[in-house]
Amino acid sequence: MATLEIHDLHVSVEAEGGPREILRGVDLTVKQGETHAIMGPNGSGKSTLAYSLAGHPKYTVTGGTVTLDGEDVLEMSVDERARAGVFLAMQYPVEVPGVSVSNFLRTSATAVRGEAPKLRTWVKEVKEAMERLSIDPSFAERNVNEGFSGGEKKRHEILQLELLRPSIAILDETDSGLDVDALRIVSEGVNRVRETGEVGTLLITHYTRILRYIKPDHVHVFANGRIAESGGAELADKLENEGYEAYVKGGASE
């Protein structure tokens, strides 16, 4: 069972006037098979947590530890993290000009699996995964994220998730900008991967909407760069009714 353990994580970003601490002591353990929702107000540091786990160079870890099955994740390069099974679906996926979806997926799969997937089975695998996500076949020939609609970007992220089969999946605001139909399709994709029991999911979201489709095992409220409260699915219902005010009062991010 893969286990991601985050202990007392502190992260800063370079801002005007010097480094600014965004994460202020995050503690979280995610096991394979579990789904954790991370919920919190804008600016509380949710994306910073996601990027820090994936190894984005803009974020400097100033304290704490992150391990995957006891291995030091913070010592790993971005590629090594991906190979170790950490997957990040970004809140704002970036364009990769000149690289088709098809090539991108195969290159990623080769990197993560350690060998190129056999062409014939791979083509079938991709085709079937695209069908399940109601993605048009012509999509495979387009350049990654170039001119993609919000919904297309998110479906593409879930397509990667389905094909790469990580042990830890970090999904940052995968519900943002989706209409009801796209939200359902994307959620079904996440649930399919979840049902394998082989992935631990960190579902980062501002709104409770996606939790109607993906039922979390644990819910954490994120405020001011750390987890302010943890509970079960009922905590999300409380947030739906009461919002985040109780957690940000007096604290704010400054």
Ligand X SMILES: Nc1ncnc2c1ncn2[C@@H]1O[C@H](COP(=O)(O)OP(=O)(O)O)[C@@H](O)[C@H]1O
> Which span sits near Mg ion by CB under 5 A: 4-12, 47-55, 123-131, 156-164?
47-55
**Residues within window 52-71 making contact with ligand X, judged by CB under 6 A:** 58
Q: Which of the listed partners (ligand X, Mg ion, none) does 253 bind, with a CB threshold of 5 to 8 Å by partner kind? A: ligand X
174 binds ligand X (CB under 6 A): no
102 binds ligand X, rule: CB under 6 A: no
Whether the Cβ atoms of residue 89 and residue 32 lie closer than 8 Å to each other: no
Size of the site for ligand X (CB under 6 A): 13
- Under rule CB under 6 A, residue 78 binds ligand X: no
For the CB of residue 12, give the shortest distance to ligand X in the complex, in Å: 10
**Among 90, 72, 91, CA closest to 81:** 72
64: left (phi over 0), alpha (psi -120 to 50) or beta: left
Helix or strand or coil: residue 73? helix
Does residue number 13 form part of the binding site for ligand X (CB under 6 A)? Answer: yes
Q: Does 253 bind ligand X (CB under 6 A)?
A: yes
47, 160, 167, 224: which one binds Mg ion (CB under 5 A): 47
Supply the minimum distance, in Å, between the C-beta of residue 173 and Mg ion.
Answer: 6
Euclidean distance between the first and the last CA atom of the chain, given in angstroms as a whole number: 39
Closest approach of Cβ 45 to ligand X, in Å? 4
Q: Is the dihedral of CA 208, 11, 165, 157 positive or negative?
A: positive
Q: E strands, the chain, where? A: 3-15, 18-31, 35-39, 59-68, 71-72, 86-89, 96-100, 143-144, 168-172, 200-205, 218-223, 226-231
Residue 57 tokens read as 């160079």
The candidate with the shortest Cα–Cα distance to 50, out of 12, 6, 88, 7, is 88
Site string for ligand X, 16-55 (x = CB under 6 A): ------x-----------------x-xxxxxxx-------
Residue ranges in contact with Mg ion by CB under 5 A: 46-47, 91
Residue ranges in contact with ligand X by CB under 6 A: 13, 15, 22, 40, 42-48, 58, 253
